[in-house]
Amino acid sequence: MASPSSSRNESEPSAVGQNGQATASEESAKKRLDLDSLATMRKVWGFMKPYRGWFWLGMGALVLSTLTVLVVPQLAGDLINVATGADPLIPGDIGTLGWIFVVILVAQASLSFLRIYTFAQVSERSLSDIRRALYNRMLGLPLPFYEKRRVGELTSRITNDVTELQDLIANTLAEFLRQIATLVLGIAALFIKSPKLTGLMLLIVPVAAILAMTFGRFIRRLARERQDALADSNVVVEETLQNIQTVKSFTNEHHEARRYGGFQDTVVRLAITAARYRAAFVSFIILAFLGGLGFIMWYGSTLIASGEMAAGDLVSFIIYTAFIGGSISGMVELYGKVLRSVGASDRIFEMLDEAAEVELLSTNAKAASGSAAKATQNGFASGEPNALPTPAPLSGAVRLQGVRFSYPTRPDVVVLDGVDLGIAPGEKIALAGPSGAGKSTIAQLLLGYYDLQEGRLLYDDKPSEHWGLRALRQRIAVVPQEVLLFGGSIRENIAYGKPEATDAEVEQAARQANALDFIRQFPEGLDTVVGERGIKLSGGQRQRIAIARAILKDPAILILDEATSSLDAESERLVQDVLEKLMANRTTLIIAHRLSTIRNVDRIHVLQDGKIAETGSYTELAAREGGLFQHLLKLQFDQPLDQPRRVEA
């Protein structure tokens, strides 16, 4: 059973992000606004720039909205001055000032609506562009990138990190600028009211606000520690309930109860500690702010008594002081949000800066569409992905010359060591050998998933660079051992081999794959939803849909990764019949795990330790005494089944 701390780090969002990455708040604690942060903000502005008209309109509404708010304290003071017979700064009687107040309220409401609407235009449109660019970049990244990262981490980029950035553009940035404007203009207004009282205020309120925010951050840290401890206790509950049979079989109910009780003791201890400091924090707030405000009111009263200040001006001063105190507190809080957003932006642009798969279009493709050969920031050629020119015909001849390869994640392990292999157009060959010999690696290299370290890969006697990744993959189809369908309809899954296919073409492909009969048994027919990963269909049905998809693609080269090994006898017979039709007149590479399925291929290459150990027909290799293929056959077919297997201690 995993320790509580390790389990929590894997599953509890309070300590770790939902997908195993550190939370933005933890990263912001280490991050500071520096030149790199400004560079990141410039990149964000690059996505906002197309909507800069909306942005500057929103900024104008923000400035005017701030000014109207700052008129309210002055108006409140002038109302009191008029009532007490003092001269107001804004001329007029009580009725006039009341109407001015109404106008200000209407203007403030209108400007706030305009600000929120315009910033929503900027944030939603620019963030949609970021999501598109990020998703397109993900689609264009090579497989080695995905081997080093979890899928949850990548989806977090396009969800959690973009959400952080959305808050920055839509709210945080505007509010941060508003607080700065309020602070600057408010202090200027205070100096006009009373330089003496302003000096006293600047000695008390900003210091108290900063101390309060620092103290509040400490309180939040204690609250997070309590939440982490509570998460630990929840992990114990989750583990125990998931493994309740194990707990009961080992009679460890009391052990688990003690373990859970220990975590609860920690939760209580941290909660009481946090409550003690929170009580001290409230006392500090009362002492600092109310005490400071009372002192300012006392000193202001002395100025009123000496005739240096009007009563209404003191009221305006106190309201402005409250605005300034709130601005300082708000700026500290918003600063943390800005840092979190910058951290999220860094992770987003790290992804956008990742090198995409190199797309080297052929000379003919470049001539057909000059703009299509130009790479864009999202990793695709410009234009819609399916709008690229149709690649030149490929007969299906394939040749590997002196191929040496190691996976990028395991550079010290040689998977293929000087492999020479040729396949003629329309020829059917099989790759056999023990696990780890390099069979699947050859198929992955044919699809361009990895770059070769040494050797050449030729198609129709031309290097792979001549054709380009997209052109090659358009001419290759794969029927895997384990078919994972998309969660949509059967029609959508079959049409994935040719998105622009007509309904008639989809139906014809299903018929050729011996799938139309079982499809018509569903009430919705081709529109039947298959569920996540095709869970609503049987293994044989999924295989036939995958074959229909390959038929619709009409590839020059077909790769079969033991497409029938996981099926029952009846399903295997149906699928095998379809595969025989699909392989006709097509270059076919079969990755063989069950040797009985490759009796009728033209040639078999047997791999061992990254090299081709034997080559020949099924009959030749089976009859070769002491050969590797014969040894593999004996392991699969000559294993005595009527003798009990000896179990070693």
pLDDT score of 622: 84
557 has pLDDT over 80? yes
CA-wise closest residue to 553 among 631, 611, 629, 493: 493
Q: Are 435 and 591 in contact (CB under 8 A)?
A: no
Asked if residue 553 lies in contact with residue 392, where contact means CB atoms within 8 angstroms, the answer is no
- For 235-260, write each residue's pLDDT tens digit: 888 888 888 888 888 888 888 888 88
* pLDDT, greater one: 286 or 624: 624
pLDDT at 643: 38
Per residue in 128-152, pLDDT tens?
888 888 888 888 787 777 777 777 7
Strand order in the sheet with 416-423: 416-423, 398-405, 454-459, 462-463
pLDDT at site 37? 67
Which DSSP string do the residues of 392-452 spell out, in sequence order? PP----EEEEEEEE--TT-TTS-SEEEEEEEE-TT-EEEEE-STTSSHHHHHHHHTTSS--
pLDDT, one tens digit per residue, over 343-360 is 777 778 877 877 777 543
**Token pair of 89, please?**
């700064």
Instruction: Give the C-alpha distances (Å, rounded to integers) separating 640 from 296, 594, 632, 635.
Output: 98, 18, 14, 10
Helix, coil or strand: residue 590: strand
Position of tokens 């995409």?
356
Task: Determine contact, residues 319/79, Cβ cutoff 8 Å.
Answer: no
310, two tokens: 């009007």
| pLDDT greater than 60 at residue 371 | no
**E runs forming strands in 522-568:** 557-561
Which pLDDT does position 378 carry in this prediction? 35
State residue 9's pLDDT score. 37
pLDDT in tens, 281-309: 777 777 777 777 777 778 778 877 777 77
Q: Taking 60 as the threshold, does the pLDDT of residue 154 lie above it?
A: yes
> Can you give the pLDDT at residue 363?
35
d(C-alpha 356, C-alpha 354), whole Å: 6
Cβ–Cβ under 8 Å, residues 159 and 130: no
What pLDDT is stored for residue 414 in this prediction? 87
Closest CA relative to residue 445, chosen from 559, 587, 606: 559
pLDDT-based confidence at 547, cuts 50/70/90?
confident
Cα gap 648→626, rounded to integer Å: 28
Mean pLDDT of the chain: 75
**pLDDT value of residue 383:** 35
Report which of residues 192 and 637 the model is more confident about: 192
Rg (CA), the chain: 36
**Dihedral in degrees, nearest 10, Cα atoms 421, 550, 449, 428:** -10
Sorted by sequence, the CB contacts under 8 Å of residue 510 that are 6+ apart come out as: 490, 494, 516, 519, 526, 545, 548
* Distance in angstroms (rounded) separating the CA atoms of residues 517 and 525: 10
The three-class DSSP label of residue 158 is helix
Show the domains of the chain with their CATH numbers. Answer: 1-21+195-308 (1.20.1560.10), 31-193+330-356 (1.20.1560.10), 357-387 (no CATH), 398-637 (3.40.50.300)
Residue 481 pLDDT > 80, yes or no?
A: no
pLDDT at 199 > cutoff 70:
yes
CA distance linking residue 303 with residue 294, whole number of Å:
14
The C-alpha atoms of residue 512 and residue 552 are separated, in whole angstroms, by 10
pLDDT over 50 at 366, yes or no: no
pLDDT tens per residue, range 43-85:
888 888 888 888 899 888 888 888 888 787 777 777 777 777 7
| Tokens 């400007």 belong to residue | 111
pLDDT at site 641:
36
For tokens 């020119």, the residue is 389
Range among 219-228, 264-273, 481-490 with highest mean pLDDT value: 264-273
Residue 549, pLDDT > 70, answer yes
Decide if 82 contacts 93 (C-beta within 8 A).
yes
Give 557's strand partners.
Answer: 476, 587
Show the 3-state SS of 331-369. Answer: HHHHHHHHHHHHHHHHHHHHHHCCCCCCCCCCHHHHHHC
